[in-house]
Amino acid sequence: MNLLEVRNLRVWDGRGGSVLVSDSSFQLKKGSCLAIIGESGSGKSLTCRAIMRLNGRGLLQSGEIRFKGVDLNELDEREMRSRRGKQLYMILQNGMRAFDPSSVIGVHLRETLARHYRWNKNETTEKLRQAMQSVRLQDPIGILNKYPHQLSGGMLQRVMIALALLLEPDVILADEPTTALDTVSKFEVVEQFIQLRERTGCSMIFVSHELGVVRKLADEVMVMRAGSVIESGTAAAIFSNARHDYTRYLTSSQRKLNDRFQELMGGAGIADR
């Protein structure tokens, strides 16, 4: 069963007319993870923001984005806002951009939860504490009273994952969530995404250029280049038997980087320690 169906999505600059995403079509199955890969500027992030209807005012879009049979492009802003968070949840690459820098973290989290639940203050605090502890955040109450700039990128990503655990959205769109993280934080955040899927049963669109992460998370992969979808299929097929030259270039480049890293570290046995 397809939870989300995108048909002939087109995104263009309303002032200059340049097309940024052209005639993109794909589906997201219930409970599955679709990874979107491609070089910078290929239209991956624009596609995710188009689904959420969060592209800037200067960008226009057309086509169908059917979520549970309803075309999101036909909803007014009030109806669309009611679906963001509880049904469609987006995790940004830069955690700082997800929070109001003038408010402590707790204000954002409590306001978001208040839109969807009728919990009192004590209930909200306790549920946040439990969710934040479950994603290995120490001193949750202290974190709730900190400003975004006082937390690391990895901590901000885990805060967003903790919020997702409470909202239990149908679809999570993760836009390059590991790019700005160090190796240890990256590993921990990927593990949290795996657990998030297991605990909530959500579907996921995972945007990344890090193919090692994609291999670990994705059931299906869609490859974009210059605003167009050039290939899609199961993760196994894309990584082992890609049809398009560009896809083969992406996957072979990643293998060469991995091989070089292992060589520098003294071999696969040492690099994996």
pLDDT band at 96 (very low <50, low <70, confident <90, very high): confident
- Distance, in Å, from the CA atom of 208 to the CA atom of 75, rounded to the nearest integer, reads 29
Percent of the chain clearing pLDDT 70 (strictly above): 92
Band of the pLDDT at 250, cuts 50, 70, 90?
confident
Across residues 47-62, what is the average pLDDT? Answer: 93
The residue among 170 and 261 whose pLDDT is bigger is 170
Judged against a pLDDT cut of 90, whether residue 259 lies above it is answered with no
Query: Residue 217: what residue type?
Result: L
Going by pLDDT thresholds of 50, 70 and 90, the confidence category of residue 261 is: very low
Band of residue 10 on the pLDDT scale cut at 50, 70, 90: very high
**Across 62-77, average pLDDT:** 96
Q: Is the pLDDT of residue 36 over 50?
A: yes
Is the confidence at residue 255, as pLDDT, over 80?
Answer: no
Question: pLDDT band for position 127 (50/70/90)?
Answer: very high
The span from the CA of 263 to the CA of 6, in Å, is 42
Distance CA 269, CA 273 (A): 7
Mutual angle of helices 105-114 and 121-134, in 10-degree steps: 110
The Cα 205–Cα 190 span in angstroms is 14
- 94 in Cβ contact with 103 (< 8 Å): no
Q: What is the pLDDT of residue 178?
A: 84
Model confidence at 137: pLDDT above 50: yes
The average pLDDT across 167-189 equals: 87
Q: State residue 257's pLDDT score.
A: 54
Residue in 74, 11, 51 with CA at minimum distance from that of residue 170 = 51
pLDDT at residue number 175: 92
Q: What's the confidence (pLDDT) of residue 177?
A: 87
CA-wise closest residue to 222 among 189, 214, 190: 214
* pLDDT for position 269: 52
Nearest to 224 by CA among 4, 6, 1: 6
Q: pLDDT (tens digit, 9 = 90+) per residue, 198-226? A: 988 999 999 998 888 899 999 999 999 99
Q: What is the pLDDT of residue 132?
A: 94
The answer to whether 237 touches 218, Cβ cutoff 8 Å, is: no
Q: What is the model's pLDDT at position 270?
A: 46
What does pTM read for this prediction? 0.87
pLDDT of residue 88 exceeding 90? yes
| Residue-averaged pLDDT of the chain | 89
Q: Which domains does the chain have, with CATH numbers?
A: 1-77+172-237 (3.40.50.300), 98-168 (no CATH)
Tokens of 77: 């802003």
> In the predicted model, what is the mean pLDDT of residues 35-53?
94
> Is the CB of residue 9 less than 8 Å from the CB of residue 63?
yes
